[in-house]
């Protein structure tokens, strides 16, 4: 049996050492009876094209790309889904039968599955605030707008980036960009933290009365302990204050489905990963 060649998948990124993706995909594979290998490989932006070319030339079937490679992956893909096209970022590359490479962005669908299915949060008619205007925000705005919220505000430290992003998505719904000081007189039902501040246990400067009664806080980041933003949500009496572990597993499940045509049971894996994180 040891001679059997496993279908090869990987995640490229930098830094990548602490990635949970190999564990998640091995759990999916075990659960669905799929034989595959999945490795985390350190790849910088400079080495990206050469590394992806080599990976597929050596029989790779699919790749995930994370920080700082999602925009490069978007450029690399021969064809893209509409979702990936709009977000200008790709986190999943798929080898097609004709040898071409298809690019998808599963971050937005991963976030929605975690919010709407796992946590029963309805977004229709809700006021949503997205903190941050980087790659993650770009990936989630389209799918969020499809849920028909009453409005989305994007607040960012560099205000011009929030304004530009809001402008790009303005045909898809009511969306505005602003800086943090513009939030003083506003309230939201759902606040999503898509800044990388949590990674250094920091918080963007948020006004005290930002969250509606029964509002929900969601940090796209996750860690062994509650992130600074999850703690902020708890301190401000959020009905739920969640981290991005569920999104991580859900976006991985969507990639797994695109590669293998089988949908794993994510709830089970979220629980297993939580135990591994604790
Ligand atoms: P980017 O580097 O593209 O963007 C970072 C954003 O954070 C920018 O808007 C930046 O503002 C802002 N920012 C950074 N530090 C601070 C700070 N101290 N105060 C206020 N704002 C700050 O990162 P990504 O968009 O790729 O990732 C953002 C987060 O989302 C990360 O924590 C990442 O781990 C998480 N993520 C989670 C996923 C999941 O599956 N759970 C999937 C994808 C991302 P400025 O423009 O002014 O520099």
**What fold does the segment set 7-105+246-277 form as a domain?**
Rossmann fold (3.40.50)
Q: Are 45 and 16 in contact (CB under 8 A)?
A: no
> Which among 193, 141, 133, 120 has a CA at the least distance from the CA of 164?
133
Residue ranges, comma separated, of all CATH 3.40.50.720 domains in the chain are 121-243
The count of C-alpha atoms lying within 13 angstroms of the C-alpha of 230, restricted to the half-sphere facing its C-beta, is 17
Place of tokens 């996750």: 222
> Is pLDDT at 264 greater than 60 in this prediction?
yes
Local confidence band at 276 (pLDDT 50, 70, 90 cut-offs): low
pLDDT tens digits, 80-115: 999 999 899 999 999 999 999 999 999 999 999 999
Token pair recorded at residue 153: 């505000």
Q: Give residue 31 CA to ligand 1 midpoint distance, Å.
A: 32
User: Whose alpha carbon is nearest atom 2 of ligand 1?
Assistant: 134
Phi, psi of 253 (to 5 degrees): -65, -40
Residue ranges, comma separated, of all CATH 3.40.50.10860 domains in the chain are 7-105+246-277
User: Whose alpha carbon is nearest atom 18 of ligand 1?
Assistant: 197
What's the mean pLDDT when you consider all of the chain? 95
Q: Give residue 88 CA to ligand 1 midpoint distance, Å.
A: 16
pLDDT of residue 277: 59
Local confidence band at 272 (pLDDT 50, 70, 90 cut-offs): very high
pLDDT of residue 135: 86
pTM over 0.85: yes
Locate the ligand 1 atom nearest the alpha carbon of residue 161 and give its number.
46
What is the CATH architecture of 121-243? 3-Layer(aba) Sandwich (3.40)
Local confidence band at 63 (pLDDT 50, 70, 90 cut-offs): very high
Which burial class, exposed, middle or buried, applies to 124 when counting CB atoms under 10 A from its CB (0-12, 13-18, 19+)?
Answer: exposed
């Amino acid at each position: 049996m040891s001679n059997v060649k496993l279908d090869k998948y990987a995640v490229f990124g930098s830094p990548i050492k602490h990635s949970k993706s190999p564990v998640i995909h091995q759990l999916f594979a075990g659960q669905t009876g799929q034989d595959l290998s999945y490795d985390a490989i350190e790849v910088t932006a400079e080495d990206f094209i050469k590394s992806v070319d080599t990976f597929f030339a050596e029989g790779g079937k699919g790749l995930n790309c994370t920080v700082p490679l999602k925009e490069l992956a978007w450029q690399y893909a021969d064809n893209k889904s509409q979702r990936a096209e709009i977000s200008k970022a790709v986190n999943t590359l798929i080898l097609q039968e004709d040898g071409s490479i298809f690019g998808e962005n599963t971050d937005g669908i991963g976030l929605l599955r975690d919010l709407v299915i796992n946590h029963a949060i309805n977004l229709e008619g809700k006021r949503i605030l997205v903190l941050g205007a980087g790659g993650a925000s770009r990936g989630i705005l389209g799918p969020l707008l499809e849920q028909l919220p009453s409005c989305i505000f994007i607040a960012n430290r560099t205000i011009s980036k929030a304004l530009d992003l809001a402008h790009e998505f303005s045909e898809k719904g009511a969306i505005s960009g602003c800086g943090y000081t513009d939030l003083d007189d506003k309230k939201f039902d759902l606040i999503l933290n898509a800044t990388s501040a949590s990674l250094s246990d920091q918080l963007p400067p948020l006004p005290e009365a930002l969250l509606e009664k029964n509002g929900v806080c969601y940090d796209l980041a996750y860690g062994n302990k509650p992130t600074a933003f999850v703690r902020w949500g708890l301190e401000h009496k959020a009905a739920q204050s969640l981290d991005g572990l569920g999104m991580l597993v859900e976006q991985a499940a969507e990639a797994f489905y695109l590669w293998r045509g089988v949908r794993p049971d994510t709830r089970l894996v979220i629980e297993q990963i939580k135990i591994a994180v604790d």
